[in-house]
Amino acid sequence: MSDVPDLGPVPQRLAVDADQVRRLVADQFPQFADLPVEPVADGGWDNWTFHLGPEMLVRLPSAAEYALAVDKEHRWLPALAARLPLPIPTPLAKGKAGAGYPYPWSIYPWLDGEPAAVDRIADPMRFALELAEFLAALQRVDTADGPQPGIHNWFRGGTLRTYDEQVERALTKLDGHVDAELAREIWASALDARWDGVDRWFHGDVAEGNLLLKDGQLAAVIDFGTCGVGDPACDLAIAWTLVTADGRQAFRKRLSVDEATWARGRGWALWKTLATYSNTFDDPEDADGSASAQRILGDIFSEYTAGAVTKPNP
């Protein structure tokens, strides 16, 4: 029997509209009933997100699998927030099923900022170092009783082999569009890179949309639905997807990342980018997404090929 977790089918998302959210809030939190409810633009996939007045938001899981993260967030985010150098969301209230909506949901404070992007970062080196400081602080938090990898976070923090079939399907679909031989070599090196087995806290989805900027500087980290304890290499993917080449090395040095962990982090970046690219490469309406994926894959391939990985000082 294989010890590789089964991701199962893609969750079927449940639609939610603003009128339904208004009814939920009015029924369960009447003190907020007079506040306007409006959808958040680009509010994410795992949750439907709505403004609740000017200072709060409502997050409603879009499928049963995503709803597994609600209790985790309410238990752990206040504890994590007290130990981290940047603001993170901390829940204000937890709602329950009602008004035709079947899952638990949450009210959070609204954190100001705009999603990170390459052309919005004022100082790429400072950004890389501040993000590394945040992840270093997160990894120092006591992991006792922390949530192990599972369906609640799609096995972030677990073995990369969970995503082996997805990588192969993406490479098959992208035949002729990427260097599949090199991609398979990089992926194999990531699978072979051993984890030391020491649990550490990780965010699980350190990505552009979950890093908020103010005046071009890192201001907050949001969306901890995939957080947990285990192998933190999944949080290193950002080193290839958003951080510059110079920033990447500073980021790695600040986190004291060994060669095996760096290889696994590169594997996480490769999986994520291949999965995205395989869904956009033939879509003329998503040329920007394809261009971004090509850029990231180019960085992954060139860094690996050039042997840019260096062992940190003992």
Q: Tell me the C-alpha distance between 170 and 280, whole Å.
A: 11
Which pLDDT score is estimated for 196? 96
State whether 70 and 171 are in the same domain.
no
Residue 314 lies in a domain: no
Whether residue 30 is found in the same domain as residue 129: no
Q: What is the pLDDT of residue 312?
A: 42
Residue 291 CA, chain-centre distance (Å), reads 20
How many percent of the chain have pLDDT more than 90? 89
Three-class secondary structure of residue 4 per DSSP: coil
Tell me, what's the pLDDT at 99?
97
- Examine the domain organization and report whether 161 and 279 are in the same domain: yes
The C-alpha atoms of residue 87 and residue 94 are separated, in whole angstroms, by 20
CB 128 within 8 A of CB 248: yes
Residue 267 belongs to a domain with what CATH number?
3.90.1200.10
Model confidence band, residue 43 (pLDDT cutoffs 50, 70, 90): confident
Using a pLDDT cut of 70, give the percent of the chain over it.
97
Asked whether residue 186 falls in the same domain as residue 124, the answer is yes
Q: In which residue are the tokens 């400081």 written?
A: 133
Does the structure show a pLDDT above 90 at 5? no
Q: Averaged over 219-245, what is the pLDDT?
A: 98
Question: Residue 34 falls within a domain, yes or no?
Answer: yes
DSSP helix/strand/coil, 55: coil
Average pLDDT over residues 225-235: 98
Say whether both 192 and 289 belong to one domain. yes
User: Residues 255-272: what's their mean pLDDT?
Assistant: 98
Same domain? 93 vs 152: no
The whole-number pLDDT of residue 311 equals 44
What's residue 4's pLDDT? 79
Within 13 Å and on the Cβ side, how many CA atoms surround 80?
33
Structural domain total, the chain: 2
Each residue's pLDDT tens digit, 167-221: 999 999 999 999 999 999 999 999 999 999 999 999 999 999 999 999 999 999 9
Q: Is residue 12 part of a domain?
A: no
Q: Do both 93 and 124 map to the same domain?
A: no
pLDDT for the residue numbered 286: 81
Confidence tier at 29 by pLDDT (50, 70, 90):
very high
Is residue 182 located within the same domain as residue 258? yes
Structural domain containing residue 127:
114-305
Between 14-28, 97-111, 181-195, 300-314, the lowest mean confidence (pLDDT) is in: 300-314
Q: Are residues 281 and 183 in the same domain?
A: yes
